[in-house]
Amino acid sequence: MNALYHQSKKMNKGIVRTILDRCKRCYSCIRECPAQAIKVINGQARVISERCIACGHCVKVCSQDAKEIESDVDLVCMEILPSKKAVAIVAPSFAASFPENYLKIPSALRKLGFTHVVETAFGADLISNYYAEVIKAENNKTIISSSCPAVINFIEKYHSELVPNLAKIVSPMIAAGKYLKSELGDDIKIVFIGPCVAKKSEYKSEEVEGILDAVLTFTELKSILQKFSVNFNKLEESDFDPPHAYLGKSFPLAGGLLKTANVSDDILEREIVVVEGKKKVLEIISEIADNKINAKFVDILFCEGCISGPAIDSDLNYYSRREKVINYIDRKIHSIDKQLWKSHLYNSRNIDFSRSFSGKNQLRPYPTEQKIKEILAETEKYSPKDELNCGACGYETCREYAVAIAKDLAEKEMCLPYLVDKLGKAYNELNETQEQLRIAEKMASIGQLAAGVAHEINNPLGSILIYSSMLKNTIEKAASDEQSIEDLELIIEEAKRCKNIVSNLLNFARQGKLNISTVNFSKLLNSVIKLIKKNPNYTNYDFKVETDGKGNSIDADEDQLKQVLLNLINNACEAMSDSENKVIDIKLSSDNNSIEAEISDHGCGIPQENFGKIFTPFFTTKKIGKGTGLGLAISYGIIKMHRGDISFKSEVGKGTTFKLKLPKNLQIQNISLN
């Protein structure tokens, strides 16, 4: 059963995992991960098991409780405790995790069913001489302590060139386990209890596999105590079972390993470096790798001492935790039977406390400078000034973030400024689309009304024209009344104008189909300009046409497109009726997919309050009799039928520019104007 359990654990996805439905795109875990072992997929920060060093920093900083640690609680409760051979070895930092009841912890563990409760700190005493020998030995390289499994994991995976620098000595946990199995028998079930997440990876590593049977964090121990309703108020204070620890109790404190090894102060000053905390650890390892450190020995802990382990589960601050551990040491260290302690050390003389390490390289190729620039450009960072280095993505600099993307560890949407800009553009596009939809719906409703009205008016207008023309001819033949002839001409002229309005209404409201053909846009534009120049009112106007020289052939309904150009250019001319600079600027450009035309005037411009009404049917600012307000509405409909876009920009007193964008290949030919 135990073998099956461990097999299933190996198949699982790492020591630390992400609870996906809790992950809320905060990226704080990325900021804290020293191994870049977290990959963002669809906004969720997922732990990459093969890259993870199990330091547990991501667990500490996750405010959403979206990181979980692989648990041995079920194994301990369902298999190990019922075996009646359960042995607990407790990390010396337990006093910081149980500040009010730490002297009752041995009793609580026995209450759960552990037959022996031993201090892991004795393991530190067991290996102290080994470290003393390493420190005193003549080495041509800096030796790195091997008690912190997170440090070991980091070096094996990301600085495999430093594997030979690791002290080939087991950790206090493994040393204590080896000793107890040699004394109590190989069939005992040893459970380590402490503040370290990385211990869960250490006890399963091939080099020391089989020494321990489970690892519990202090958090997990508290859940078990609660599950079994262990009441501390009813427990007596009691001591640990032998072998008792001596100076090894100081192991969880910074420099505790050296204290245990009884290394003198003068050596400390010249040849030994003590480093704790993630940032300093990364710096010192990098310095050692670059041969910039000449120290003989470096004691490294990823946390600020084991009293700051990710699963210490205590509300006390660093100094209060440290004080609790020191109080425990002071309380117990003077009552140690040193002769008995030495006899236990002697009993370990035949135990091998050495171990090996191996490189498990997880480094990914560093991207080229060109690739980094391309990624930065994709997030709209084209120069160092664009790199805000705000850290919102979890990386200290935009460049580090781009490198992470290149290594397939991040995604562009992690960049907050980029995401905000993208969201802003999407919001503006949505507003524009909604406005276009509103106009289209309004035009459809008005179009239906206009069609009915136009048909009703058209017939009486025809009658008016016929009979007024007949009456005019009769009077002209009789040559009897000049005033009557003049009045009839006015009636005929106004009736024709009404028929023209009706014709525009019908064009606006019609449900016809596009008659698609290949149209040369440049030729069509020139023909429209030529036609407008025939108007005696525009003989002194200057038309400047600028083209890019590329192919301007498109699929379109030539007649309707001609109507659009006539409407826009006529409007531009009329807008400059009172202007001195009567110049129409027309720019034509194209690419493989579309053609764009800009028609600019230097006229009166459009007031901003009228921007939302420009394409509304019957809206016009022209004088009475000069326009119906249907030209731009019809143009809008025709352009939309061609699956194109029409927009404008204008400034009062400076002029207006209308911009058309039409696809070159129009596949849909039967498109309704409404």
pLDDT tens digits, residue range 254-304? 777 777 777 654 555 568 888 888 889 999 999 999 998 888 889 899 888
| CATH architecture entry for 418-510 | Orthogonal Bundle (1.10)
pLDDT of residue 159: 94
By percentage, how much of the chain surpasses pLDDT 70?
Answer: 89
Of the ranges 44-48, 503-507, 515-519, which one carries the lowest mean pLDDT score?
Answer: 503-507
Q: What is the dihedral of CA 329, 330, 334, 336, to 10 degrees?
A: -20
pLDDT of residue 217: 94
Distance CA 242, CA 125 (A): 13
pLDDT of residue 103: 92
The one-character DSSP state at 373 is H
Of the ranges 187-191, 373-377, 418-422, which one carries the lowest mean pLDDT score?
Answer: 418-422
Q: How confident is the model at residue 513 (pLDDT cuts 50, 70, 90)?
A: low
Residue 324 predicted with pLDDT over 70: yes
By percentage, how much of the chain surpasses pLDDT 90?
Answer: 35
Closest CA relative to residue 566, chosen from 534, 590, 612, 609: 534
* pLDDT mean over 643-668: 88
Residue 412 predicted with pLDDT over 80: no
Q: How does strand 517-520 pair with strand 542-547?
A: unpaired
Residue, of 141 and 666, whose pLDDT is higher = 141
* pLDDT mean over 188-214: 94
pLDDT of residue 184: 95
* pLDDT mean over 239-256: 86
* pLDDT mean over 105-124: 95
Contact of 248 with 124, CB cutoff 8 Å:
yes
The one-character DSSP state at 354 is B
Contact of 78 with 228, CB cutoff 8 Å:
no
CA distances from 195 to 27, 67, 237, 238, 435 (A): 24, 16, 22, 22, 60
Contact of 293 with 142, CB cutoff 8 Å:
yes
Q: How confident is the model at residue 382 (pLDDT cuts 50, 70, 90)?
A: confident
CA distances from 74 to 109, 227, 309, 425 (A): 16, 11, 23, 51
Burial of 584 by CB count in 10 Å (0-12 exposed, 13-18 middle, 19+ buried)? buried
Q: How confident is the model at residue 9 (pLDDT cuts 50, 70, 90)?
A: very low
Residue, of 44 and 600, whose pLDDT is higher = 600
pLDDT of residue 85: 95
Distance CA 539, CA 491 (A): 29
Q: How does strand 594-600 pair with strand 38-41?
A: unpaired
* pLDDT mean over 99-123: 94
Question: What one-character-per-residue DSSP string does 518-534 give?
Answer: EEEHHHHHHHHHHHHHT
Distance CA 639, CA 607 (A): 24
Residue 467 predicted with pLDDT over 90: no
Phi-psi region of 406 (alpha: psi -120 to 50; beta: other; left: phi over 0): alpha
The angle that helices 416-478 and 482-509 make with each other, rounded to 10 degrees, is 150
CATH number of the domain located at residue range(s) 511-674 in this protein? 3.30.565.10
pLDDT of residue 3: 44
Contact of 182 with 297, CB cutoff 8 Å:
no
The angle that helices 482-509 and 631-641 make with each other, rounded to 10 degrees, is 30
pLDDT of residue 628: 61
Residue 126 predicted with pLDDT over 80: yes
Q: Tell whether omega for the bond before 82 is within 30 degrees of 0, i.e. cis.
A: no
Phi-psi region of 643 (alpha: psi -120 to 50; beta: other; left: phi over 0): left
Residue 20 predicted with pLDDT over 50: yes
Residue 373 predicted with pLDDT over 80: yes
At 607, phi and psi to the nearest 5? -60, 145
Residue 230 predicted with pLDDT over 90: yes
Residue 668 predicted with pLDDT over 60: no
What is the domain partition of the chain in residue ranges?
1-70, 71-347, 369-414, 418-510, 511-674
- Dihedral of CA 57/63/66/69: which sign? positive
Of the ranges 61-70, 227-236, 393-402, 454-463, which one carries the lowest mean pLDDT score?
Answer: 454-463
Contact of 656 with 575, CB cutoff 8 Å:
yes
Mean pLDDT of the chain: 84
Closest CA relative to residue 288, chosen from 170, 150, 151, 161: 161
The one-character DSSP state at 333 is H
Distance CA 345, CA 293 (A): 34
Q: What does the chain come to in residues? A: 674
- Please name the amino acid found at residue 238: S
CATH number of the domain located at residue range(s) 1-70 in this protein? 3.30.70.20
pLDDT of residue 10: 38
Distance CA 242, CA 336 (A): 10
**Residue 221's beta-bridge partner residues?**
none
